[in-house]
């Protein structure tokens, strides 16, 4: 592996004050969770919170605001694909800092737009920030700090996004009710700066080698795997070019599966509050239902993280897709106040795990050295489809007069994704020490 000049550095301030008896990677995990709560969680769940208030405040249609949301996902995907290779070479820290500052500023400005074009500009810049401070940067950090315990660690770090889903919908609904978007958005922007920036600057470290530490920390001998498995150096330290990755069936199966499932999942999620508000008759109650889904996401991700390192990630991912599709269908076709929360919770069980499995599959198949470049491409495609999801649901809702048809369509798409992801098989490690060789064919 080519030496990386960005790996030089000194211990962060937190390492000098936090107890040294714990592996520092777990402090990094907690720090990434906080950063994801700010940079990813507010940027992601805020779209659902802002959807209906923006319509009501300005008289914009569902499709018009959903179009801005679609633009958000497309631009964030482009930004992720652009920064991915730079993160592999130079590290994610500058992108995290710039992304968090821009996220805070654009979140604040959402409350002060007057024209529809202004909303589109603000969402485009917010999306750029998401691409810099989102999944590529944070998962690149986690992928280097943990290999054999990657699923367990990521299940903890990704709770930051779900925590935002628990806190933001009811908080946002309350703030909007008290003072409109003009009150809510500056407060949310301030939270990003107050929480996210200090953690990024004083806690996070990109690579354990910067602190002269190995990945994973101490691991019991019983946890060792065979040298030819997905955790071996032959897989994890292999360098991939974009052209090499594009020539594998696994890359295209992985990409297509998440294109489909995130189109469906995001289309449902962004419209969930509006859908449930129509059913329940209360925005606050609908927001609490979204928080219920986020709570389910946290619990299920922590549970899955305990065993995911030891099972087939393809099969686990396919199962999660199927559960999500069934949960959406039950939520749409069974109209009952109790079951609404039950099925929303079921959807939440899969919500965060699906994003986590995307990172884990990329890390398992393509390793850590080229993670940013490969994950950036996968993220680009899935973010574009995520943007199409809310727009598709919005257009179908307008044409059909309700949410039954569009949400049924999203469930069907998710079933297809469950089949496609089974073709994202782990690749055989290359023979010999030359990790830059042409990739082996999929088994």
Average pLDDT over residues 223-251: 75
Q: Are 406 and 269 in contact (CB under 8 A)?
A: no
Burial 374-384 (b: 16+ CB within 10 A, else e): bbbbbbbbbbb
CATH of the domain at 323: 1.20.1250.20
**DSSP conformation letters of 180-249:** -HHHHHHHHHHHIIIIIHHHHHHT--S-GGGGT--SS-S--GGG---TTSTTSHHHHT----HHHHHT-H
Instruction: Give dist(CA 110, CA 121) in Å, integer.
Output: 10
Residue 6 lies in a domain: no
Residue 295 lies in a domain: yes
Residue 247 lies in a domain: yes
Q: In this structure, how many other beta carbons lie within 10 angstroms of the beta carbon of residue 323?
A: 19
Number of domains making up the chain? 1
Residue 128 lies in a domain: yes
Kindly report, residue by residue over 58-107, the tens digit of the pLDDT.
998 877 887 888 888 889 889 999 999 999 888 999 999 999 999 999 99
Q: Which residue has the higher pLDDT, 251 or 280?
A: 251
Distances (CA, A) of 252 to 160, 340, 362, 381, 421: 29, 36, 12, 10, 9
Q: Which residue has the higher pLDDT, 234 or 326?
A: 326
Residue 305 lies in a domain: yes
Residue 431 has pLDDT above 70, yes or no: no
Q: Are 278 and 331 in contact (CB under 8 A)?
A: no
Which of 127-131, 149-153, 189-193, 295-299 has the least mean pLDDT? Answer: 295-299
Q: Which residue has the higher pLDDT, 342 or 221?
A: 342
Q: Taking the mean position of all CA atoms in its chain, how far away is CA 254?
A: 15
Q: Which residues contact 401 (CB under 8 A, 6 or more apart)?
A: none
Q: Are 424 and 365 in contact (CB under 8 A)?
A: yes
Instruction: Give dist(CA 132, CA 127) in Å, integer.
Output: 9
Distances (CA, A) of 430 to 113, 219, 241, 366: 54, 26, 14, 12
Residue 7 has pLDDT above 80, yes or no: no
Residue 154: burial class (beta carbons within 10 Å; 0-12, 13-18, 19+): buried
Q: Which residues contact 71 (CB under 8 A, 6 or more apart)?
A: 120, 123, 124, 127, 387
Average pLDDT over residues 388-394: 84
Residue 443 lies in a domain: no
Residues spanned by the domain of 47? 18-215+229-423
Residue 431 lies in a domain: no
Under the banding of pLDDT at 50, 70 and 90, the label for residue 439 is: very low
């Amino acid at each position: 592996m080519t030496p990386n000049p960005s790996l030089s550095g000194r211990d962060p301030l937190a390492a000098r004050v936090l107890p040294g008896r714990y592996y520092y990677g777990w402090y990094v995990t907690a720090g990434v969770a906080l950063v994801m709560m700010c940079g990813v969680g507010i940027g992601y769940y805020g779209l659902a919170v802002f959807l209906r208030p923006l319509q009501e405040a300005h008289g914009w249609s569902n499709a018009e605001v959903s179009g801005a949301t679609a633009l958000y996902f497309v631009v964030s995907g482009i930004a992720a694909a652009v920064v991915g290779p730079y993160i592999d070479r130079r590290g994610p820290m500058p992108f995290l800092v710039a992304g968090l500052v821009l996220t805070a500023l654009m979140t604040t400005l959402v409350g002060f737009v007057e024209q529809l074009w202004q909303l589109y500009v603000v969402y485009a810049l917010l999306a750029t920030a998401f691409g810099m401070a989102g999944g590529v940067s944070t998962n690149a950090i986690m992928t280097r700090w943990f290999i054999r315990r990657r699923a367990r660690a990521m299940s903890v770090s990704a709770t930051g996004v779900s925590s935002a889903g628990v806190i933001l919908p009811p908080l946002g609904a309350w703030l909007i009710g008290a003072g409109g978007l003009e009150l809510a958005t500056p407060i949310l922007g301030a939270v990003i700066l107050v929480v996210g920036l200090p953690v990024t600057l004083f806690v996070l470290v990109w690579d354990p080698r910067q602190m002269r530490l190995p990945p994973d920390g101490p691991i019991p001998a019983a946890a060792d795997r065979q040298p030819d498995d997905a955790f071996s150096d032959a897989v994890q330290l292999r360098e991939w070019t974009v052209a090499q990755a594009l020539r594998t069936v696994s890359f295209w199966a992985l990409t297509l599966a998440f294109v489909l499932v995130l189109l469906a999942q995001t289309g449902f999620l962004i419209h969930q509050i509006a859908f449930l508000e129509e059913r329940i008759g209360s925005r606050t109650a609908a927001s609490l239902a979204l928080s219920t889904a986020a709570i389910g996401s946290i619990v299920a991700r922590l549970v899955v993280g305990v065993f995911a390192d030891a099972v087939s990630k393809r099969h686990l991912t396919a199962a999660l897709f199927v559960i999500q599709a069934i949960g959406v269908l039950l939520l749409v076709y069974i109209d009952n106040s109790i079951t609404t929360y039950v099925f929303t919770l079921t959807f939440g069980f899969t919500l965060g795990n699906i994003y986590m499995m995307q990172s884990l599959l990329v890390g398992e198949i393509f390793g850590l050295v080229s993670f940013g470049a490969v994950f950036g491409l996968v993220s680009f495609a899935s973010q574009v489809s995520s943007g199409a999801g809310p727009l598709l649901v919005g257009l179908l809702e307008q044409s059909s007069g309700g949410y039954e048809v569009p949400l049924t369509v999203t469930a069907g798409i998710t079933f297809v994704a469950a089949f496609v992801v089974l073709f994202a098989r782990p690749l055989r490690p290359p023979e010999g020490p030359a990790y830059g060789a042409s990739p082996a064919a999929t088994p």
